[in-house]
Structure 1
Amino acid sequence: MTPEELSDFALELPEAVDDEAFGPGAAVFKVEKKVFAILQDASEDRPPQVTLKCEPDLALHLREQYAAVVPGYHVNKRHWNTVVLNGTVPVEELREMVEHSYDRVVAGLPKAVRERLRLLRTV
C-alpha cells in the first residue's frame, strides 16, 4: 500500500480529517480532533511509515507477525505501532490496522458522538 492509498483509505472513514499538526512531512489523521494515524513521508534513510493506535495484546502479536511493525515512534509504545510501508504487510492487513486504530479512538469518544459515527459508517 502506498502512502497515497493509505491516506485515501483513512479519509474514507466517517469524519476523518487530515492535517499537518506536526509540520510538513507528517499527515495527521484525526476524528473529532483525536489522532488515529500519523503518516510520515520517506526520508533518505527510511521508507514511509504510519503510526497507528492498537489494543496492547494485538500490538504485540502484530510485532511478532511482521518485521515491518515496530513499537510506536514518539508515542506510547504499549498502545501504538509504527508500520513501515515497505510492501511486506499485506494491504488488507494494513487496512484492518487503520480501521482498528480509528475504532480505538472512536471508542473513547462520548456516547452520542460514537453513535453518530457508527451510523455514518453503516451508510
Structure 2
Amino acid sequence: MDGAALHEVTVRTALALPAVEETQPFGDESVVYKVVGKMFVLLTELRGVPIVNLKCAPPHGAALVRDHAEVSPGWHMSKRHWITLAPGDGLDESMVEDLVANSYELVVAGLPRAARPLDPARRARPEDA
C-alpha cells in the first residue's frame, strides 16, 4: 500500500465511525481524529513519507511491530500504547481498516459509559442495549 492509499483508507475508515471529529491541533501538517475529544488517529508525514499513528493494545502492538516492517512503535507517542504505520507491501486495506477500528474501540472503552458513542464490547450504541 502506498502512502496516499494509507492516508485515504485511514481517513475513510475513521470518518465512518460514530461521533468522530477531524481536527488539526498540531498545525496544517497533520490531521487528528478524535472521539469525544480523545485522539485515536494521527495522520502526518515523516521526512516526506505519509504515516499514521494509532492506539493499540501493548501485546497486539508488539506482535505487529515484530511481524510487519511497515509497523513501528508510535512516533512521538507512547511506544507501548501507540503504533505507526508506514507505506509498504505488508499493509492492505483490510488491515488498515481493522487497526483504525481497533484504535477507536480502545479509546471508546476508556471513556465513561455515559459518554461512549457505542459499547465497544457489543459494537452497539449504549442506548440500543
Query: Is the Cα–Cα contact under 8 Å of residues 47 and 86 in structure 1 kept in the other structure?
Result: no
Moved segments of 4+, more than 4 Å: none
* In structure 2, distance between residues paired with 1:73 and 1:59: 13
Q: Which residue of 1 aligns with 2:97?
A: 95
Query: Is the Cα–Cα contact under 8 Å of residues 42 and 52 in structure 2 kept in the other structure?
Result: yes
* In structure 2, distance between residues paired with 1:24 and 1:64: 32
Higher mean alpha-carbon deviation, 4-13 vs 76-85, is at 4-13
- 1:60 paired with 2:62, answer yes
Secondary structure at the aligned position of 1:95 is classed as: helix
Pairs aligned (count): 119
Residues 98-109 of structure 1 aligned to structure 2 (within 5 Å): 98-109=100-111
**Structure 1 unaligned blocks of 5 or more:** none
Q: Which residue of 2 aligns with 1:33?
A: 37
Q: Deviations over 1:38-81 (max 9, x none)?
A: 0114x6x4421100000000000011111010000111000000
Shift of 1:7: 0.7
Query: Is the Cα–Cα contact under 8 Å of residues 50 and 85 in structure 1 kept in the other structure?
Result: no
Q: 1:87 to 1:15 in 2, by over 3 A?
A: farther
**Structure 2 unaligned blocks of 5 or more:** none
Query: Is the Cα–Cα contact under 8 Å of residues 39 and 51 in structure 1 kept in the other structure?
Result: yes
Shift of 1:103: 0.5
Q: Deviations over 1:21-50 (max 9, x none)?
A: 111111100000000000114x6x442110
* In structure 2, distance between residues paired with 1:19 and 1:87: 29
* In structure 2, distance between residues paired with 1:24 and 1:87: 28
- 1:10 paired with 2:11, answer no
Return the TM-score normalized by structure 1.
0.87
Q: Which residue of 2 aligns with 1:70?
A: 72
* In structure 1, distance between residues paired with 2:83 and 2:112: 25
Q: Which residue of 1 aligns with 2:118?
A: 117
Shift of 1:113: 2.0
